[in-house]
Structure 1
Amino acid sequence: MELERVDPAVRAATAKLPVPDVTRPLMRRLIRFATRLLPTPALPGVTRQQVRFASGRVQVYRPVDGAPRGGLLWVHGGGFVIGSWRQDHRHCAETARDLGIVVVSAEYRLAPEHPFPAALDDVHAAWGWLQANAATLGIPADRMAVGGESAGGGLAAGLVQRLHDEGGPQPVAQWLYAPMLDDRTAADRSLDEVNHWVWNNTLNRFGWSAYLGQAPGQASVRPYAVPGRRDDVTGLPDTWIGVGDIDLFHDEDARYAACLTDAGVPVTLDVVPGGPHGFENWAKESEPARALHHRARTWLGARLAGHSAS
């Protein structure tokens, strides 16, 4: 893909950004180790606490001032094969501070060592922990959302579908940054030629194969593994999806947004011109990233305050 298609505000950062080959086991191990060393500096107005429970571990971000207005379960990205809560530390802390909410950042097992449903089970357990501890955290029981970025956005969407079918406490919103929703994108070999910035279709195919334990695009997949292939999305919560128009996931995200809309779900699809995959994370100081986060948090704040997009 030509660099000229990238927004000028993030073009230089995009050109310099390394794109490691996560298909190589040694490279994945190195990236996972390096991610564990990412700094997590304190942010004024927010506290962070690591909590271990029977089936997992979460990072809990709490605003210092006032009672929490709601809660968010956040799921990090990494193509199902890399990633850690640390990469989204600032995003979670700023969201907790700016919205006055508790943000619970989930850790989950990675593929290919732990294929589906391991990661989904882990974020499901994190949701259960959040529900069980809502009163202690001071979170109103009817003011909780689920969100994530990239593969984390896909896991968040799958979790929302699973929670819907299980009944019980439901999130009031799903908040998805460039979510990885549909394995059929990876099966489309014509997309290999485009060579999208940051996350291309070759890496995408590996990520889905590692997660599903089978080649992407098969006739059938297990429930909740591929959110974009669910036929009936009626009754899912208000949804925000933010994605760049040059992101590999743009088309699948737009299809999911249309599917939700057709089912009567209030949806905001925020398409950023010239936005490569994950720019809101690795180019967070750029004007497009700051603007996207502002719009996203404004939307989430309204949902957690009880205002539906409908």
Structure 2
Amino acid sequence: MLNAERGSLRSRSAATISGLTLRQIASVLPPEQPWGLWLSRQIIARIMDTFGPSLAGTRVDRIDVTTSAGRRVVGEWVYGAGVRRPPTDGAVYFIHGSGFALCSPRTHRRLTSWLSRLTGLPVFSVDYRLAPRHRFPTAADDVRAGWHWLTDDLRVAPEKTVIAGDSAGGHLAVDLLLQPDVAHPAGAVLLSPVKDLTFELAKQREQLRRDPAIRSRDAARLLGLYCAGVEPVHPRLRHDVAGGRALPPTLIHAGGAEMLAADAIALAQDIRTAGAPCELKIWPDQVHVFQALPRLAPEAAPAMREIAAFIAEALRVDAVGQAAG
């Protein structure tokens, strides 16, 4: 659904400033060049640290293990302040985004620490390998290995988990959930998910409103680092959500100012067509994954409360904790 009201003055101002700065930077940094990709990673990491710092009292346990199936899994357990429950009591499996090439569990620690604090659950953030050094389907395979380590080796019951992902992490989450031999979690949370890797949907949205952070052609160049040499109609890139396996109950959030709002709307429709319940909310005037940037977007706090409430309902437990600004 699309709210009728406007976004806050702070978030609208942030979108305007982003259009004058970040959007212009993204248009001139060549992701195909090592120096361009390195600089892009540094800029995004600095933005995430500045406007979405990790919450005080967060505990992080680094993980680097070999699974019973012989696969390496790297990531981190994130425990919000006061969270002491073991993963076997319930957990969130988090898949970070940013084009399969830019980010890490470290850059997304505000989101994961906030999720943990609000839900009272530990969050496992998988550190999948990045493009261009590791191309398709490496990230998807790493995400699958992390899920099987969680559910098979640690014996965390799938029905006691929720999978969450943002941006390209949303695409990876859907890929995992569509696999016929993957046990489904109790629910899924997708923040500004990428659905169409050709960015045709995003281009149509751009004709209505310019994305303040990046142009569709620049985003396509970035994602091309992961998908190079693979036809865009590959079933693990162009997901048949409407005609495939029904997903678990899903919550989708996207920003009204971003071009991927079109992907969120189309994905929600496909999930419902396949017979699964899906809640969709487009937050007016918000930028891409605004939930990770609470210092820019006051709307991040109520959005995170909605996410925590959805997770609590999916797991049939009471949400705990208070939203932090």
**TM-score, normalising length from structure 2?**
0.79
Q: Distance in 1 between matches of 2:267 and 2:317?
A: 24
Q: Indicate how the Cα distance of structure 1 residues 236 and 124 shifts in structure 2: closer, same or farther if over 3 A, else same.
A: same
Query: Does the 8 Å CA contact 2:79/2:123 hold for their aligned counterparts?
Result: yes
Identify the match of residue 27 of structure 1 among 25, 33, 36: 36
Deviates more, 1:11-20 or 1:250-259: 11-20
Map of 1:270 onto structure 2: 281
Map of 1:222 onto structure 2: 234
- Is 2:256 the counterpart of 1:251? no
What RMSD, in angstroms, separates the aligned Cα atoms of the two structures? 2.8
Q: How does 1:293-308 map to 2 (within 5 A)?
A: 293-305=304-316
Q: Distance in 1 between matches of 2:124 and 2:181?
A: 21
Map of 1:143 onto structure 2: 160
**How much has 1:231 moved relative to structure 2?**
4.4
Deviates more, 1:142-151 or 1:33-42: 33-42
Identify the match of residue 93 of structure 1 among 108, 113, 123: 113
Q: Distance in 2 between matches of 1:10 and 1:73?
A: 28
Q: Indicate how the Cα distance of structure 1 residues 79 and 7 shifts in structure 2: closer, same or farther if over 3 A, else same.
A: farther
Map of 2:197 onto structure 1: 183
**How much has 1:94 moved relative to structure 2?**
1.9
Map of 1:43 onto structure 2: 56
Q: Indicate how the Cα distance of structure 1 residues 207 and 186 shifts in structure 2: closer, same or farther if over 3 A, else same.
A: farther
Query: Does the 8 Å CA contact 1:161/1:224 hold for their aligned counterparts?
Result: no
Q: Indicate how the Cα distance of structure 1 residues 189 and 300 shifts in structure 2: closer, same or farther if over 3 A, else same.
A: closer
Q: Deviations over 1:201-239 (max 9, x none)?
A: 022211332222148xx6x52222233x44423421111
**TM-score, normalising length from structure 1?**
0.83
Q: Which runs of 4+ in 1 moved over 4 A?
A: 33-42, 63-66, 186-194
Query: Does the 8 Å CA contact 2:253/2:283 hold for their aligned counterparts?
Result: yes
Query: Does the 8 Å CA contact 1:234/1:260 hold for their aligned counterparts?
Result: no
Map of 2:223 onto structure 1: 208
Identify the match of residue 279 of structure 1 among 283, 286, 290: 290
Gaps of 5+ in 1: none
Map of 1:172 onto structure 2: 186
Amino acid across the alignment from 2:184: Q
**How much has 1:112 moved relative to structure 2?**
2.6
Q: Distance in 1 between matches of 2:264 and 2:204?
A: 18
**How much has 1:41 moved relative to structure 2?**
5.6
Deviates more, 1:281-290 or 1:71-80: 281-290
Q: Distance in 2 between matches of 1:281 and 1:41?
A: 10
What is the SS of the residue equivalent to 1:166? coil
Gaps of 5+ in 2: 1-5, 67-71, 319-325
Identity over aligned residues, as a percent?
Answer: 22
